[in-house]
A and B are shown apart, each in its own frame.
Chain A
Amino acid sequence: MKGVVFVELLSMAESAFGEDVVDNVLDKADLENGGAYTTVGNYPCEELVKIVQAFSDHSGLSPEVLQRKFGHWMMEFFAQHYGGFFEGKEGSLEMLEAVDGEIHVEVRKLYPDAELPRFDARRVNDTELELLYSSPRPLVEFCHGLIEACVDRFGESGSIDIDPTVKPGNKNSTMFNIKLNEQ
């Protein structure tokens, strides 16, 4: 996983709990390099899971909630640093449809070692999208947060449900049903 994800996770934690707390939590967590991360490095995804768990222990918030919040944080970060991907998109559904075939494609060009998920999108109608997320990494709620934040970004609202009945063949897949409210 790219160092930038770790650095941003710690930034979020600092803004939420303060620097001291972050330092303490990192000290207690059993991390390979003592919690020193740089944006230009690459680190195992398990470390990320450990850090999230450590903050969960500290705050009493569930790891899922934290991941989701982090998804919001990261969407903000993407929007600030990679605004180009958002330009020309009519709405969140169009944006989400573009992740797999456009945005992550560009990411992979720049970082051939990036660990990216796979998305299969099916547009039900103007306001509804079925997005099948597949990844070997346990980041479903992070993805959930990204999707929520994406809808917010485009000034839209609606419901984002995980369909528990759809597990097509692969336990690494999750189906998101995104329904926007009529405007």
Chain B
Amino acid sequence: MSTANEDQVSRRRFEREKAARQEAERLLEEKSRALYLANEKLNAYSEELEKAVLERTADMRRALQKAEAAAATRSRFLATMSHEIRTPLGGLLGMIDLVYGDETNPETREYLEYAKTSGQALKRIVNDVLDFSKMEAGAFQFENEKVDIRALISSVVGLAGGNLGSGESRIRESISSSVPKLFLGDATRIRQVISNLVSNAVRYSTDGPIEVRAFSTRHEKGALLRVELEDHGIGISPELEETLFKDFSQIQNRLTAAAQGTGLGLAISKQIIEGINGTIGVDSVLEEGSTFWFEIPVEVIESVPSKTTGKSDLSKADRRSVAGVRILLAEDNPINQKLILTFLKRMKAEVELAENGAVAVRKFAPNTFDLLLMDVAMPEMDGLEAIRTLRELYPAEDIPPIVLLTAHVMEAIHQESKGVGVARVLSKPISYDDLEAGISEVLELHQSETPSTRGVEAPSPAKADVIDMMSADVAKQLLDAMPKADLLAIVEEFISDSRRLLGEILAHQNNQNAALVAQSAHSLKGSSGSLGFPRISDAAKEIEGGITELSSERISQLCQAIHDDLSLLDQAFGKQA
């Protein structure tokens, strides 16, 4: 009985357990179904998301490609257009200059003056538009070269005064002795700003004196240069003040703005000044006059101003004469040939013409020329190529300063020209005055850089700077081993040798001969290392080690850095002159 009972009990228990299990299984089924559905939903979401991301990415890529294509087209268009417009414009203006010079009939001369003024206005507008577009495209790069602000201001003032036509200039210069004699900056751009402010002042204040002032104060970078331009014109209303520095696309009433002729000049000046970390502004009182000013931090090279007080030595009247200077001109365009030849002859320079780069290389010989004037775009061999070839063929001291002429606006040219060692880039179309000023400034600087006492080894106090530029331990070792004069002679030799090697690197790089680039970089690395110029040797090392991987931009960057260092060394030597 008890067994039957036990059987019965276990059946009930079994039934109950079974029911519980079924219930559990049902619940599990339910849960996993819910899970499955949730999972499905999640998958659908993530698929959708993925699709959306892919679509979005594709959209963005398309947009980017479109934008890039548009930007490329635009800058190509700009480069072409500027070239196409500037070249004939230059011809036109130059010819007017020539005719004007020979013309004696006052009436015709007057017409020619009008023609010239209009042409110059057109040139200014073309340049402004190009500059502005370049800035917008972010393609604006700033140079770091030696700037003599006194010379720069007087040459700007000289030109503006000449524009007035009436003998006496009403522009006064007062440049404080606190302003450094030489500093590092972008001379072309600073000149552009000053000249813009000066020409505005001349245009908008019909009477009363105009004063250009400059002074400088201490700054962490070296000095803070402030240039002010005061006129006694009609002044500017506060409302106008606000829009003054904007380009006309930003101004409500564009037509008025254009008619007033403010154009893009101030907007460009603002971009330039801000691009070199400065500030620009105006303080104005209506009916009394305005003072435009800008402040830029600059790195001082030489702080003591020259002893010739007052007018700078480079003002139009007494700038260094170009007469008798022997110039090799490489230029292919027949009109430009004629124009520049005539200009140079008028300056009484002795000119030898080469119709392209290859001819220039053939005609060149050491000690035959004081200056090379080189066009960039030429058939057969372009200007940069010709310079590179010359640098390969001759040691640095045998090559006179080189002035590059270009109608290309693209900054790449400026960049590249730095790499091959060019004293100045002048942009075409060029006026008689600009050409003369450019050449004479370059000659002036070159002369002060090349000590006439070359070879006579008297260790002057200034030369201590050179030693300071070497790493301290190496300098000490070397000085223990030899007299200072000998060391300085070695360093000087090193500089010219390094320039030659740098030229080689660039030339080989241009011919894409990696092995030779590495070879030249290797020697440079060695010599700079043992003389204790680690920056140069590091750069050379990077070139040598990475020649196959490095981008050509990086290589030209490195070359530029080496070049800059060599220039600093040169300056240290130049100081004794």
Contact = CB atoms under 8 A, between A and B. Distances in A.
Interface of A: 19-20, 23, 26-27, 33-41
A140 to B, nearest CB: 29
Given A23-B12, A33-B19, A40-B28, 16 more contacts: A19-B9, A19-B13, A20-B9, A23-B9, A23-B13, A23-B16, A26-B16, A27-B12, A35-B16, A36-B16, A36-B19, A38-B20, A38-B21, A38-B24, A38-B27, A41-B23
B13 A40 contact: no
A3 to B, nearest CB: 8
B10 to A, nearest CB: 9
Contacts of A41: 23-24, 27
B23 A34 contact: no
B20 A37 contact: yes
Contacts of B19: 33-34, 36
A23 B18 CA distance: 14
B23 to A, nearest CB: 5
B50 interface: no
Contacts of B15: 34, 36
Nearest to A42: B27
Secondary structure type dominating chain B contacts: helix
Nearest to A20: B9
28 contacts: A19-B9, A19-B13, A23-B9, A23-B12, A23-B13, A23-B16, A26-B16, A27-B12, A33-B19, A33-B23, A34-B15, A34-B16, A34-B19, A36-B15, A36-B16, A36-B17, A36-B18, A36-B19, A36-B20, A36-B23, A38-B20, A38-B21, A38-B24, A38-B27, A39-B24, A40-B28, A41-B24, A41-B27
A19 B16 CA distance: 12
Contacts of B28: 40
Interface string B6-50: 000100110111111101100110000000000000000000000
Interface residues of B, number: 14
Interface of B: 9, 12-13, 15-21, 23-24, 27-28
A23 B10 CA distance: 9
Contacts, number: 35
Contacts of B18: 36
Q: Which of B16, B21, B28 has the most CB of A within 10 A?
A: B16
Nearest to B27: A40
Secondary structure type dominating chain A contacts: loop
Nearest to B19: A36
Contacts of A26: 16
Q: Which 3 A-B pairs have the closest CB atoms?
A: A36-B19, A38-B24, A36-B20
Contacts of B27: 38, 40-41
Nearest to B25: A38
Nearest to B17: A36
A72 to B, nearest CB: 25
A37 B20 CA distance: 5
Contacts of B20: 36-38
Q: Which of A19, A23, A26, A35 has the most CB of B within 10 A?
A: A23
Contacts of A40: 24, 27-28
A56 B19 CA distance: 25
A152 B21 CA distance: 35
A19 B8 CA distance: 12
A55 to B, nearest CB: 16
Contacts of A38: 20-21, 23-24, 27
A40 B26 CA distance: 10
A41 B29 CA distance: 12
Nearest to B6: A20
Contacts of B17: 36
Nearest to A39: B24
Contacts of B24: 38-41
A37 to B, nearest CB: 6
B94 to A, nearest CB: 87
A40 B12 CA distance: 22
Contacts of B23: 33, 36, 38, 41
B22 to A, nearest CB: 8
A26 B20 CA distance: 14
Nearest to B31: A40
Contacts of A27: 12
Nearest to B18: A36
Contacts of A37: 20
A36 B17 CA distance: 6
B463 to A, nearest CB: 77
A108 B12 CA distance: 35
A26 B16 CA distance: 10
A35 B15 CA distance: 10
A35 B24 CA distance: 14
A35 B12 CA distance: 11
B29 to A, nearest CB: 11
Contacts of A33: 19, 23
A37 B12 CA distance: 14
Contacts of A35: 16
A34 B27 CA distance: 18
Nearest to A6: B20
A178 B131 CA distance: 88
A169 B63 CA distance: 69
Contacts of A36: 15-20, 23
Contacts of B16: 23, 26, 34-36
A19 B17 CA distance: 13
B490 to A, nearest CB: 76
Nearest to A36: B19
A31 B228 CA distance: 101
Contacts of B9: 19-20, 23
A35 B20 CA distance: 9
A41 B24 CA distance: 7
A38 B28 CA distance: 11
Nearest to B16: A36
A33 B24 CA distance: 13
A123 to B, nearest CB: 41
Nearest to A43: B23
A23 B19 CA distance: 14
A35 B17 CA distance: 9
A155 to B, nearest CB: 37
A94 B449 CA distance: 87
A39 B19 CA distance: 13
A39 B13 CA distance: 17
A39 B17 CA distance: 12
A174 to B, nearest CB: 33
A34 B12 CA distance: 10
A6 to B, nearest CB: 10
